[in-house]
Chains A and B, each alone.
Chain A
Amino acid sequence: MSFLSANGAGGPELFSSQVGSRMSFLSMKGKGGQILSSVLVAACVACSLVAVLDIEDQRALGICIAVIAGVAFALSKLGIVQAAEQAGVHHPWAVRCIIVAAFAGVLLVLRENNFALLMSATILIYATVCLGLTIQTGFTGLFNFAGAAFLGTGGYTAAMLANVTWLPDIIVILSGGLIAAALGTILILPVLRTRGHYAALATLAFGILFYGFLEANELLGGPQGLKVPGITILGWDFANEPTLGGISFSFYANYVVLIGAIFAVFMIFTRFVERSWIGIWLDAVRLDETAASVFGLRVSLWKSFAFTTGNFLAGVMGAVYAKMTAFIAPANFTFGDSLTLVSIVLLGGIGNRWGVLIATMIVVLLPEKLQFIQEYRLLLFSCVIIGLLFVRPGGLLARRVRVFGGQ
C-alpha cells in the first residue's frame, strides 16, 4: 500500500507548489514508501548484477536475464522505480547510503572473482564516460562521437606519464582528464562558430583519426600499445590483495572501490550541474540557441564548459582504465567503442544519470556474458536498441522535468 501511495504522488507537478498541510502529510506518508522502493530497486539491481556476473551456464544465464527483465518490467509498472526516483529527489542522502550499501554488498559477494570485478570496474568506467556524454549531449545537445578517443587520450597520457616520469598517481590520473579536456577544447573551438550538428562531425573525424594516429605513432607504441604500471595511492599498492575482517578480496577490488568512488563523485557533480542555474542554461542552449543568446546567455561559453567537462570525465577514467588493465593499445579505443558509448546514452534515456548506469550494465555485460551471441552481438545489440526505443522513445529511464528543491 505504501508503494502505491508513493507512486500516486509520482508526477512532478504534485510535488511542486501547493504545499498545503494535506500535501506535506502525503509526502510524510510517502517518505517510507519512497525509501523502501529505493531499497528494493537497489537490491534488485545488485542481485541482477551479481547473478549475471556469477552464472556461467548459458541456459541458466538466459533464464536469469529473462527473469531480470520481467522483474524490471514489473517494478516499473508498479511505480516502484518512479517512487525510487522520487526518493532520490527528496531524500538524496538516504538514497546515497542505500546505493553505497548495495555496492558494498556486490563487492563482498564477488570478492575473489577476478573476472566479475573487472567487469564491474569496466561498467563503472563506461558509465562515467557516459555521464560526460550526458552533460554534452543530454544537457547541451553537443553530439560527441569520440568518447572512446577521449578515454584513450586519458589512457595514453597516464601511460606516458607513468613510464617517463615519477609523478604521483593522483596527479597522473588528473592529468589524463586535463589533457583530454584540453584536446577537446581545441576541437570545439572552431565548432563554436557554427550552428547545428557540426560538433558531431568534428568529433566523428577525431574519433576515427585518433585510432589511425595511435597505430602509426612509434612513440606511443604503435599497434602493439604500451605497458602501464598499476596504481599506488598513499603508499597502498593496488596490486596487493586487501583483506577486511579476515575476508580477502581480489586486487581488482582496489580498482572497483577507487572507480566507484570517482563515479560517485561525478554522479553527484552531474546532478549538481543539472540542478543549478547552469543546468537551465545548458538545456536552453540545446533547445533554442537563438532565444538563449537573445536573453544574454553566452552560448559558446556554455558549450565549451559542457564539452570540456564531459571530456575531463572521460580522460580521468581513461587514465584509471589504463592503469587497471596494465596495458593499452589502439584497439581499445576504436570508433566502434565511441558509437557504443553514444548508444548507451540513447538507451539509458538522454539526460538521465541513472538510466546511463543501467544501460551500461546491459551494453557491457550482455555481449560479454552471452558468448554464443558473440558473432551476432552487434546485430542483437542494434535490435535491442531499436526495439527499446520503439517501446520507450525516451530511453529506459526518461529524463524528468526539473523541479527545484522538491518544493
Chain B
Amino acid sequence: MSGHAAPPAKDTSLLMASGLSVKFGGLLALNALDIEVKRGEILGLIGPNGSGKTTFFNVISGIYSASSGNVVLDGQDTTTLRPQQIAAHGLARTFQRSRLCLSLSVFDNLMLGAVRRLNSGLWYNLVRRGQLAADIGSAAKEARELLAIFNPQLADKLWQPAISLGMIDRRRLEICRALIGRPKLVLLDEPSAGMTHDETNQLMSEILEVRRGLGGLTIVMVEHEMGLIERATDRCVVLNYGKKICEGKYSQVAADPQVREAYLGKS
C-alpha cells in the first residue's frame, strides 16, 4: 500500500528494540529486552501473565517511556517520541481491553484509525463543506469495504453506535481501526480475549485474509491461545519476568525446557 515503494527485502528489520528496560518503582517490568521484528512477518509474543508483553506494546507505542534502551521503527529512533508521533511513523495497535468510543458510530471509531490520512485543517473542515462531504462519502465507502471483509453485516452497521455491536464485532472493529490507517506495523494485543475458540479461529482467518490483501503487513501479536500462535505466526518470542527467554519457530519454542518451566513451573 502506501509508505514503502519497492517491496523491501524480507530480512530487514522493521522494528528493533535494543536493551529496552521499563521500571515501575522497584519493579523491572522489562529487563534489557532485545526484540527484532522483520518486515512482513507475524511475530508471536508469548509468556505467562505479568511477563511484560503488554508493557512492551505500551513502550513501543509511546504510552510508557523506556527507562533505558531504545526503539527503532523503520529506521527512525522512536524511543522518546509521543504516541501521536509514533503513529505518524506507521504504527497502529489494538488493546487488550476494548478501547472503542462506544457512544460514537462505527464509522467515527474507524476514522479515528485514519487520523493520519484525513485533513484536519480548519478551513477545509468548516468552509469547504462540499469537498468534506465528498471525502466523507468516499471514506464511508472504503470503511464499508474493509468491514465487509470481516463481516458483511458489520458493513451495514456503519452508522450505528459501537455499543450496539456484539463482542466479536467490536473486536473486528478494533482491528479494522488499526488497519484502515495503512500502518507498517500492527500490534495486536490478545485478539482472542473474551471470545470462544471458534470465534477466535474465524477472526484469525479474517485477519490473515486482510493481510494478504494488504500485501504482507507486519504484525506483532500477543496471545495466550497457543493454537492461534502455532497457526498464524512465523516466529515467536517468549518473555518471562520482562526478559526474553526463548525465540524461534513455535515448534522449537514449545519444546524448550525453559519455556515449559515458565508456564508450568519446575517439575
Question: In the complex the two chains form, is B84's CB within 8 Å of A278's CB?
Answer: no
Question: In the complex the two chains form, is A298's CB within 8 Å of B84's CB?
Answer: yes
Could you write out 17 A-B pairs with CB less than 8 Å apart?
A269-B126, A272-B126, A273-B125, A276-B132, A277-B119, A281-B115, A281-B120, A284-B101, A284-B108, A290-B63, A290-B83, A294-B93, A295-B87, A295-B113, A296-B84, A297-B84, A404-B107
The number of chain A residues touching the other chain, given as a range, is 20 to 34
Could you tell me which residues of chain B, from 113 to 167, have a CB within 8 Å of some CB in chain A? Answer: 113, 115-116, 118-120, 122, 125-126, 129, 132-133, 136-137, 140, 144, 155-161
B71 to chain A, nearest CB (A): 15
B11 to chain A, nearest CB (A): 29
Residue A114 lies at the interface, judged by CB distance under 8 Å to chain B: no
Which of B83, B93, B155, B160 interacts with A401 by CB under 8 Å? Answer: B160
Question: In the complex the two chains form, is A276's CB within 8 Å of B126's CB?
Answer: yes
Which of A9-17, A54-62, A126-134, A364-372 contacts the other chain?
A9-17
Q: How far is the CA of A2 from the CA of B84 in the complex (A)?
A: 49
Task: Name A's interface SS.
Answer: helix
Question: In the complex the two chains form, is A401's CB within 8 Å of B161's CB?
Answer: yes
Question: In the complex the two chains form, is A277's CB within 8 Å of B133's CB?
Answer: no
A47 to chain B, nearest CB (A): 33
Number of interface residues of B (CB under 8 A): 46
Residue B208 lies at the interface, judged by CB distance under 8 Å to chain A: no
Residue B49 lies at the interface, judged by CB distance under 8 Å to chain A: no
Which of A15, A16, A295 interacts with B177 by CB under 8 Å? Answer: A295
B57 to chain A, nearest CB (A): 10
Which residues of chain B come closer than 8 Å to A277, judged between CB atoms?
111, 118-120, 125, 132
Q: What is the interface of chain B, defined by CB distance below 8 A to chain A? A: 61-63, 82-84, 87-88, 92-93, 95, 99, 101-105, 107-108, 111-113, 115-116, 118-120, 122, 125-126, 129, 132-133, 136-137, 140, 144, 155-161, 177, 181
Residue A186 lies at the interface, judged by CB distance under 8 Å to chain B: no
| Given A18-B156, A287-B104, A294-B62, 4 further pairs, Cβ under 8 A | A291-B101, A292-B112, A293-B82, A407-B137
Which residues of chain B come closer than 8 Å to A294, judged between CB atoms?
61-63, 83-84, 87, 92-93
Which of B95, B112, B140, B160 interacts with A280 by CB under 8 Å? Answer: B112
A291-B99, A294-B83, A295-B92 are contacts. A278–B156 as well, Cβ < 8 Å? Answer: no
Q: How far is the CA of A12 from the CA of B158 in the complex (A)?
A: 11
Which residues of chain B come closer than 8 Å to A293, judged between CB atoms?
62, 82-84, 87
Which residues of chain B come closer than 8 Å to A295, judged between CB atoms?
87, 92, 112-113, 115-116, 177, 181
Question: In the complex the two chains form, is B92's CB within 8 Å of A17's CB?
Answer: no
A15-B159, A277-B118, A295-B181 are contacts. A405–B133 as well, Cβ < 8 Å? Answer: yes
Question: In the complex the two chains form, is A17's CB within 8 Å of B159's CB?
Answer: yes
B132 to chain A, nearest CB (A): 6
Residue of A whose beta carbon sits closest to that of B158? A17
Per-residue interface assignment for chain A, residues 387 to 407, with 1 indicating a CB less than 8 Å from any chain B CB and 0 otherwise:
000000000000001111101
Residue of B whose beta carbon sits closest to that of A277? B118
Q: How far is the CA of A401 from the CA of B88 in the complex (A)?
A: 28
Q: How far is the CA of A15 from the CA of B107 in the complex (A)?
A: 14
Question: In the complex the two chains form, is A296's CB within 8 Å of B116's CB?
Answer: yes
Residue of B whose beta carbon sits closest to that of A290? B63
Residue of B whose beta carbon sits closest to that of A301? B120
Q: How far is the CA of A292 from the CA of B111 in the complex (A)?
A: 11
Question: In the complex the two chains form, is B101's CB within 8 Å of A288's CB?
Answer: yes
Which residues of chain A come closer than 8 Å to B133, judged between CB atoms?
404-405
Residue A112 lies at the interface, judged by CB distance under 8 Å to chain B: no
Question: In the complex the two chains form, is A272's CB within 8 Å of B120's CB?
Answer: no
Residue of A whose beta carbon sits closest to that of B114? A295
Q: How far is the CA of A273 from the CA of B127 in the complex (A)?
A: 10
Which residues of chain B come closer than 8 Å to A299, judged between CB atoms?
84
Q: How far is the CA of A295 from the CA of B104 in the complex (A)?
A: 16
Question: In the complex the two chains form, is A287's CB within 8 Å of B103's CB?
Answer: yes
A16 to chain B, nearest CB (A): 4
Q: How far is the CA of A248 from the CA of B102 in the complex (A)?
A: 54
Residue of B whose beta carbon sits closest to that of A302? B120
Which residues of chain A come closer than 8 Å to B92, judged between CB atoms?
294-295
Q: How far is the CA of A292 from the CA of B120 in the complex (A)?
A: 14
Q: How far is the CA of A281 from the CA of B129 in the complex (A)?
A: 17
Q: How far is the CA of A294 from the CA of B125 in the complex (A)?
A: 22
A403 to chain B, nearest CB (A): 5
Question: In the complex the two chains form, is A17's CB within 8 Å of B120's CB?
Answer: no
Which residues of chain B come closer than 8 Å to A12, judged between CB atoms?
105, 159-160
Question: In the complex the two chains form, is A283's CB within 8 Å of B99's CB?
Answer: no
Which of B62, B82, B125 interacts with A272 by CB under 8 Å? Answer: B125
